[in-house]
Protein backbone atom coordinates (compact mmCIF):
# COMPACT_ATOMS: atom_id res chain seq x y z
CA UNK A 1 0.00 0.00 0.00
CA UNK A 2 1.40 3.35 -1.02
CA UNK A 3 1.78 6.43 1.19
CA UNK A 4 -1.08 8.19 -0.60
CA UNK A 5 -3.40 5.24 -0.04
CA UNK A 6 -2.50 5.08 3.65
CA UNK A 7 -3.10 8.82 4.03
CA UNK A 8 -6.46 8.54 2.26
CA UNK A 9 -7.55 5.71 4.59
CA UNK A 10 -6.48 7.73 7.63
CA UNK A 11 -8.51 10.66 6.29
CA UNK A 12 -11.58 8.39 6.13
CA UNK A 13 -10.98 7.20 9.67
CA UNK A 14 -10.66 10.80 10.87
CA UNK A 15 -13.69 12.23 9.05
CA UNK A 16 -15.78 9.14 9.93
CA UNK A 17 -15.00 9.63 13.61
CA UNK A 18 -15.93 13.29 13.15
CA UNK A 19 -19.40 12.31 11.86
CA UNK A 20 -19.97 10.06 14.87
CA UNK A 21 -18.78 12.69 17.34
CA UNK A 22 -20.91 15.56 15.99
CA UNK A 23 -24.24 15.66 17.82
CA UNK A 24 -26.19 18.38 15.99
CA UNK A 25 -27.82 16.87 12.85
CA UNK A 26 -26.94 20.00 10.86
CA UNK A 27 -23.28 19.58 11.73
CA UNK A 28 -23.59 15.87 11.00
CA UNK A 29 -24.87 16.59 7.49
CA UNK A 30 -21.82 18.72 6.69
CA UNK A 31 -19.42 16.30 8.41
CA UNK A 32 -20.99 13.44 6.45
CA UNK A 33 -20.37 15.33 3.22
CA UNK A 34 -16.70 15.68 4.12
CA UNK A 35 -16.56 11.98 5.04
CA UNK A 36 -18.09 11.14 1.64
CA UNK A 37 -15.48 13.28 -0.08
CA UNK A 38 -12.71 11.43 1.80
CA UNK A 39 -14.19 8.07 0.71
CA UNK A 40 -14.19 9.31 -2.88
CA UNK A 41 -10.46 10.02 -2.53
CA UNK A 42 -9.92 6.45 -1.26
CA UNK A 43 -11.78 4.99 -4.26
CA UNK A 44 -9.74 7.21 -6.57
CA UNK A 45 -6.35 6.18 -5.17
CA UNK A 46 -7.40 2.51 -5.20
CA UNK A 47 -8.00 2.82 -8.95
CA UNK A 48 -11.82 2.89 -8.97
CA UNK A 49 -12.55 6.30 -10.53
CA UNK A 50 -16.11 5.40 -11.54
CA UNK A 51 -17.05 4.50 -7.99
CA UNK A 52 -15.28 7.65 -6.76
CA UNK A 53 -17.48 9.75 -9.03
CA UNK A 54 -20.72 8.17 -7.76
CA UNK A 55 -19.50 8.47 -4.19
CA UNK A 56 -18.66 12.13 -4.59
CA UNK A 57 -22.02 13.09 -6.07
CA UNK A 58 -24.25 10.96 -3.85
CA UNK A 59 -22.48 11.33 -0.55
CA UNK A 60 -21.27 14.93 -0.80
CA UNK A 61 -24.32 16.45 -2.48
CA UNK A 62 -27.54 14.44 -2.46
CA UNK A 63 -27.51 12.78 0.98
CA UNK A 64 -26.51 15.93 2.97
CA UNK A 65 -29.20 17.84 1.07
CA UNK A 66 -31.86 15.31 2.09
CA UNK A 67 -30.62 15.37 5.69
CA UNK A 68 -30.75 19.18 5.81
CA UNK A 69 -34.21 19.28 4.24
CA UNK A 70 -35.44 16.76 6.82
CA UNK A 71 -33.90 18.72 9.70
CA UNK A 72 -35.47 21.88 8.30
CA UNK A 73 -38.89 20.23 8.14
CA UNK A 74 -38.65 19.01 11.72
CA UNK A 75 -37.55 22.43 12.96
CA UNK A 76 -40.40 24.15 11.09
CA UNK A 77 -42.81 21.73 12.74
CA UNK A 78 -41.34 22.54 16.16
CA UNK A 79 -41.68 26.28 15.50
CA UNK A 80 -45.28 25.84 14.34
CA UNK A 81 -46.12 23.74 17.41
CA UNK A 82 -44.57 26.35 19.69
CA UNK A 83 -46.58 29.10 17.97
CA UNK A 84 -49.95 27.35 18.26
CA UNK A 85 -49.25 25.87 21.67
CA UNK A 86 -49.65 22.29 20.42
CA UNK A 87 -47.14 20.34 22.40
CA UNK A 88 -47.30 16.66 21.59
CA UNK A 89 -48.73 16.71 18.09
CA UNK A 90 -47.13 14.44 15.54
CA UNK A 91 -45.76 15.95 12.34
CA UNK A 92 -47.82 15.04 9.28
CA UNK B 1 -31.42 -2.96 29.85
CA UNK B 2 -28.76 -2.10 32.40
CA UNK B 3 -25.68 -0.18 31.35
CA UNK B 4 -23.42 -3.06 32.34
CA UNK B 5 -25.33 -5.56 30.19
CA UNK B 6 -25.22 -3.15 27.24
CA UNK B 7 -21.51 -2.67 27.67
CA UNK B 8 -20.86 -6.42 27.72
CA UNK B 9 -23.06 -6.99 24.64
CA UNK B 10 -21.43 -4.12 22.74
CA UNK B 11 -17.93 -5.35 23.59
CA UNK B 12 -18.77 -8.90 22.48
CA UNK B 13 -20.23 -7.62 19.21
CA UNK B 14 -17.33 -5.29 18.47
CA UNK B 15 -14.71 -7.93 19.23
CA UNK B 16 -16.56 -10.45 17.05
CA UNK B 17 -16.85 -8.10 14.10
CA UNK B 18 -13.24 -7.01 14.62
CA UNK B 19 -11.91 -10.58 14.52
CA UNK B 20 -13.90 -11.51 11.42
CA UNK B 21 -12.93 -8.30 9.61
CA UNK B 22 -9.24 -8.58 10.47
CA UNK B 23 -9.05 -12.24 9.41
CA UNK B 24 -10.88 -11.45 6.19
CA UNK B 25 -8.65 -8.50 5.38
CA UNK B 26 -5.46 -10.46 6.07
CA UNK B 27 -6.61 -13.19 3.67
CA UNK B 28 -7.29 -10.70 0.89
CA UNK B 29 -4.73 -10.15 -1.86
CA UNK B 30 -3.04 -6.73 -1.97
CA UNK B 31 -5.04 -3.95 -3.61
CA UNK B 32 -4.99 -4.36 -7.39
CA UNK B 33 -3.00 -7.61 -7.19
CA UNK B 34 -5.80 -10.19 -7.35
CA UNK B 35 -5.44 -12.66 -10.20
CA UNK B 36 -8.25 -15.00 -11.13
CA UNK B 37 -9.65 -16.62 -14.23
CA UNK B 38 -12.80 -14.50 -14.31
CA UNK B 39 -10.83 -11.26 -14.48
CA UNK B 40 -8.78 -12.52 -17.42
CA UNK B 41 -11.90 -13.67 -19.26
CA UNK B 42 -13.80 -10.45 -18.60
CA UNK B 43 -11.01 -8.20 -19.82
CA UNK B 44 -10.63 -10.20 -23.04
CA UNK B 45 -14.39 -10.29 -23.66
CA UNK B 46 -14.90 -6.61 -22.90
CA UNK B 47 -12.18 -5.56 -25.29
CA UNK B 48 -12.76 -8.04 -28.13
CA UNK B 49 -16.50 -8.77 -28.14
CA UNK B 50 -18.02 -5.65 -26.56
CA UNK B 51 -15.41 -3.21 -27.88
CA UNK B 52 -15.33 -1.14 -24.69
CA UNK B 53 -12.07 0.35 -23.47
CA UNK B 54 -13.58 0.80 -20.00
CA UNK B 55 -13.90 -2.79 -18.79
CA UNK B 56 -15.85 -1.80 -15.67
CA UNK B 57 -18.49 -0.12 -17.82
CA UNK B 58 -18.53 -3.13 -20.12
CA UNK B 59 -19.35 -5.37 -17.15
CA UNK B 60 -22.05 -3.00 -15.86
CA UNK B 61 -23.73 -2.13 -19.14
CA UNK B 62 -23.18 -5.21 -21.26
CA UNK B 63 -21.95 -8.41 -19.61
CA UNK B 64 -24.01 -7.92 -16.45
CA UNK B 65 -26.55 -5.46 -17.83
CA UNK B 66 -29.30 -7.49 -16.14
CA UNK B 67 -27.94 -6.46 -12.73
CA UNK B 68 -27.84 -2.84 -13.86
CA UNK B 69 -31.48 -3.07 -14.92
CA UNK B 70 -32.25 -4.45 -11.46
CA UNK B 71 -30.49 -1.49 -9.87
CA UNK B 72 -32.36 0.95 -12.09
CA UNK B 73 -35.66 -0.69 -11.15
CA UNK B 74 -34.75 -0.51 -7.45
CA UNK B 75 -34.15 3.23 -7.89
CA UNK B 76 -37.44 3.50 -9.78
CA UNK B 77 -39.30 1.69 -7.00
CA UNK B 78 -37.66 3.84 -4.32
CA UNK B 79 -38.69 7.10 -6.01
CA UNK B 80 -42.19 5.82 -6.77
CA UNK B 81 -42.60 4.50 -3.23
CA UNK B 82 -41.55 7.81 -1.71
CA UNK B 83 -44.02 9.66 -3.92
CA UNK B 84 -46.75 7.25 -2.86
CA UNK B 85 -45.99 7.64 0.86
CA UNK B 86 -45.68 11.43 0.83
CA UNK B 87 -48.58 12.22 -1.49
CA UNK B 88 -51.19 14.66 -0.31
CA UNK B 89 -54.54 13.01 0.23
CA UNK B 90 -57.74 14.99 -0.23
CA UNK B 91 -58.65 14.39 3.41
CA UNK B 92 -55.35 15.71 4.81
CA UNK B 93 -55.79 18.82 6.85
CA UNK B 94 -53.48 21.53 5.69
CA UNK B 95 -52.21 23.03 8.88
CA UNK B 96 -49.30 24.85 7.27
CA UNK B 97 -51.08 26.60 4.46
CA UNK B 98 -51.88 29.80 6.35
CA UNK B 99 -48.30 30.15 7.53
CA UNK B 100 -46.81 29.25 4.14
CA UNK B 101 -48.99 31.79 2.35
CA UNK B 102 -48.56 34.57 4.91
CA UNK B 103 -47.41 37.80 3.27
CA UNK B 104 -44.78 38.42 5.93
CA UNK B 105 -43.25 35.00 5.45
CA UNK B 106 -39.52 35.25 5.99
CA UNK B 107 -37.58 34.05 2.98
CA UNK B 108 -34.02 32.99 3.66
CA UNK B 109 -31.54 34.90 1.51
CA UNK B 110 -28.67 33.24 -0.30
CA UNK B 111 -25.30 34.95 -0.17
CA UNK B 112 -23.91 36.27 -3.44
CA UNK B 113 -20.81 34.11 -3.09
CA UNK B 114 -22.85 30.89 -2.88
CA UNK B 115 -25.06 32.06 -5.73
CA UNK B 116 -22.16 32.84 -8.07
CA UNK B 117 -20.34 29.57 -7.35
CA UNK B 118 -23.47 27.41 -7.59
CA UNK B 119 -24.82 28.96 -10.80
CA UNK B 120 -21.34 29.06 -12.31
CA UNK B 121 -20.99 25.31 -11.76
CA UNK B 122 -24.30 24.40 -13.43
CA UNK B 123 -23.01 24.59 -17.01
CA UNK B 124 -19.80 22.60 -16.45
CA UNK B 125 -21.65 19.93 -14.44
CA UNK B 126 -24.26 19.50 -17.20
CA UNK B 127 -21.46 19.22 -19.78
CA UNK B 128 -19.60 16.67 -17.64
CA UNK B 129 -22.81 14.69 -17.18
CA UNK B 130 -23.45 14.44 -20.93
CA UNK B 131 -19.78 13.62 -21.55
CA UNK B 132 -19.84 10.76 -19.04
CA UNK B 133 -23.19 9.40 -20.24
CA UNK B 134 -22.06 9.04 -23.87
CA UNK B 135 -18.40 8.20 -23.26
CA UNK B 136 -18.70 5.75 -20.38
CA UNK B 137 -17.52 2.91 -22.61
CA UNK B 138 -14.28 4.73 -23.49
CA UNK B 139 -13.33 6.71 -20.37
CA UNK B 140 -14.51 6.82 -16.77
CA UNK B 141 -18.01 6.30 -15.39
CA UNK B 142 -21.28 5.67 -17.20
CA UNK B 143 -25.03 6.00 -16.76
CA UNK B 144 -25.46 6.17 -12.98
CA UNK B 145 -22.71 8.72 -12.47
CA UNK B 146 -23.99 10.83 -15.37
CA UNK B 147 -27.50 10.74 -13.94
CA UNK B 148 -26.33 11.72 -10.47
CA UNK B 149 -24.33 14.58 -11.99
CA UNK B 150 -27.35 15.81 -13.95
CA UNK B 151 -29.36 15.79 -10.71
CA UNK B 152 -26.51 17.69 -9.03
CA UNK B 153 -26.76 20.41 -11.69
CA UNK B 154 -30.42 20.93 -10.77
CA UNK B 155 -29.62 20.84 -7.06
CA UNK B 156 -27.01 23.56 -7.68
CA UNK B 157 -29.73 25.82 -9.13
CA UNK B 158 -31.71 25.19 -5.95
CA UNK B 159 -28.65 25.88 -3.77
CA UNK B 160 -28.34 29.24 -5.48
CA UNK B 161 -31.73 30.08 -3.98
CA UNK B 162 -33.62 29.49 -7.22
CA UNK B 163 -36.10 26.91 -6.07
CA UNK B 164 -38.80 27.89 -8.53
CA UNK B 165 -36.30 28.27 -11.37
CA UNK B 166 -35.16 24.69 -10.68
CA UNK B 167 -38.69 23.46 -11.30
CA UNK B 168 -39.11 25.68 -14.34
CA UNK B 169 -35.98 24.18 -15.94
CA UNK B 170 -37.22 20.62 -15.42
CA UNK B 171 -40.87 20.44 -14.30
CA UNK B 172 -41.98 17.52 -12.18
CA UNK B 173 -44.07 16.12 -15.04
CA UNK B 174 -40.88 15.84 -17.11
CA UNK B 175 -39.18 13.98 -14.24
CA UNK B 176 -42.08 11.51 -14.09
CA UNK B 177 -41.83 10.89 -17.84
CA UNK B 178 -38.01 10.67 -17.66
CA UNK B 179 -38.13 8.08 -14.91
CA UNK B 180 -40.57 5.94 -16.86
CA UNK B 181 -38.76 6.32 -20.17
CA UNK B 182 -35.36 5.56 -18.60
CA UNK B 183 -36.41 2.40 -16.78
CA UNK B 184 -38.80 1.22 -19.51
CA UNK B 185 -36.29 1.98 -22.26
CA UNK B 186 -33.55 0.02 -20.47
CA UNK B 187 -35.87 -2.98 -20.12
CA UNK B 188 -36.92 -2.59 -23.76
CA UNK B 189 -33.31 -2.53 -24.90
CA UNK B 190 -32.71 -5.80 -23.03
CA UNK B 191 -35.75 -7.39 -24.67
CA UNK B 192 -34.62 -6.10 -28.07
CA UNK B 193 -31.37 -8.00 -27.56
CA UNK B 194 -33.40 -11.09 -26.69
CA UNK B 195 -35.50 -10.80 -29.84
CA UNK B 196 -32.63 -10.00 -32.21
CA UNK B 197 -29.81 -12.17 -30.86
CA UNK B 198 -31.55 -14.61 -28.56
CA UNK B 199 -29.93 -13.34 -25.34
CA UNK B 200 -31.22 -10.75 -22.88
CA UNK B 201 -29.17 -7.54 -23.29
CA UNK B 202 -27.20 -8.98 -26.21
CA UNK B 203 -25.18 -6.14 -27.68
CA UNK B 204 -26.73 -4.72 -30.83
CA UNK B 205 -24.46 -2.89 -33.23
CA UNK B 206 -21.26 -4.80 -32.76
CA UNK B 207 -17.94 -3.80 -31.23
CA UNK B 208 -17.01 -1.05 -33.72
CA UNK B 209 -13.61 0.66 -33.73
CA UNK B 210 -12.00 0.18 -30.33
CA UNK B 211 -11.64 3.35 -28.25
CA UNK B 212 -13.88 5.57 -30.40
CA UNK B 213 -17.19 7.19 -29.53
CA UNK B 214 -19.05 4.84 -31.90
CA UNK B 215 -17.67 1.65 -30.34
CA UNK B 216 -19.40 -0.83 -28.01
CA UNK B 217 -22.74 -0.82 -29.88
CA UNK B 218 -25.93 -0.58 -27.83
CA UNK B 219 -24.01 -0.33 -24.56
CA UNK B 220 -23.92 3.45 -25.04
CA UNK B 221 -27.71 3.62 -25.49
CA UNK B 222 -28.20 1.69 -22.25
CA UNK B 223 -25.81 4.06 -20.47
CA UNK B 224 -27.81 7.09 -21.65
CA UNK B 225 -31.15 5.51 -20.66
CA UNK B 226 -29.79 4.66 -17.21
CA UNK B 227 -28.51 8.23 -16.89
CA UNK B 228 -32.00 9.58 -17.60
CA UNK B 229 -33.52 7.12 -15.12
CA UNK B 230 -31.01 7.89 -12.38
CA UNK B 231 -31.29 11.66 -12.82
CA UNK B 232 -35.09 11.63 -12.84
CA UNK B 233 -35.39 9.27 -9.86
CA UNK B 234 -32.87 11.25 -7.79
CA UNK B 235 -34.61 14.52 -8.57
CA UNK B 236 -38.05 13.05 -7.77
CA UNK B 237 -36.75 12.00 -4.35
CA UNK B 238 -35.17 15.43 -3.76
CA UNK B 239 -38.40 17.10 -4.93
CA UNK B 240 -40.50 15.10 -2.47
CA UNK B 241 -38.22 16.21 0.36
CA UNK B 242 -38.53 19.82 -0.83
CA UNK B 243 -42.33 19.58 -0.97
CA UNK B 244 -42.28 18.62 2.68
CA UNK B 245 -40.28 21.66 3.68
CA UNK B 246 -40.47 24.54 1.28
CA UNK B 247 -43.51 24.55 -0.81
CA UNK B 248 -46.65 26.54 -0.68
CA UNK B 249 -48.92 23.55 -0.44
CA UNK B 250 -51.70 23.42 -3.01
CA UNK B 251 -55.19 23.30 -1.54
CA UNK B 252 -56.53 19.76 -1.26
CA UNK B 253 -58.79 18.98 -4.15
ipTM: 0.74
Provide mean pLDDT across the span A53-62: 83
Task: Identify whether the C-beta of residue A39 lies closer than 8 Å to the C-beta of residue A59.
Answer: yes
**What is the DSSP-derived secondary structure letter of residue B211?**
T
Where does the pLDDT of residue B169 fall: very low under 50, low under 70, confident under 90, or very high at 90 and above?
A: confident
CB contact under 8 A, B155 and A46: no
Of A73, A67, A77, the C-alpha closest to A26 is A67
For residue range B62-111, list pLDDT tens digits in order.
888 889 899 999 999 999 998 888 877 665 555 555 566 666 666 667 78
Is A82 an 8 Å CB contact of chain B?
A: no
Say if CB B179 and CB B73 are below 8 A apart.
no
pLDDT at B103: 62
pLDDT at B77: 92
Question: Whole-angstrom Cα distance, residue B65 to residue B214?
Answer: 19
Residue contact A54–B57, C-beta within 8 A? no
Q: In whole angstroms, what is the distance from residue B7 CA to residue B15 CA? A: 12
> What average pLDDT does this structure show over B154-170?
83
Residues of B in contact with A70 (CB under 8 A): 241, 244
> Chain A: nearest CA to B149, how far in angstroms?
7
What's the rounded Cα separation, in Å, for the pair B54 and B133? 13
Chain B residue numbers touching A61 (CB-CB < 8 A): 152, 155
Three-state secondary-structure class, residue B194: helix
Angle at Cα B41 formed by Cα B38 and Cα B44, nearest 5°? Answer: 145
pLDDT, average across residues A69-83: 77
A residues 3-32 lying closer than 8 A (beta carbon) to B: 5
- Count H helices and E strands in chain A, helices first: 4, 0
Distance CA B142, CA A67 (A): 27
Q: Do B32 and A57 touch (CB under 8 A)?
A: no
CB B179 within 8 A of CB B236: yes
pTM of the model: 0.79
Contacts of A57 in chain B (CB under 8 A): 145, 148-149, 151-152
* pLDDT, mean of residues A34-48: 91
Amino acid sequence: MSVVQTLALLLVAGTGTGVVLSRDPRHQAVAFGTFGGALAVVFLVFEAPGVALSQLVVSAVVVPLMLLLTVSRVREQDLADAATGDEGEEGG
Amino acid sequence: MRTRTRLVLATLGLVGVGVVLTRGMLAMPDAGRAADAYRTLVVATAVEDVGAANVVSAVLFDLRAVDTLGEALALFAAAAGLQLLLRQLSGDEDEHRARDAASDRREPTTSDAVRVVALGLVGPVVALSIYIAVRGHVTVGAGFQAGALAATALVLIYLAGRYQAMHRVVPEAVLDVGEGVGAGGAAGLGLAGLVVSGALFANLGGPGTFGTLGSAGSMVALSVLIAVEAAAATMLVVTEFQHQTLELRPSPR
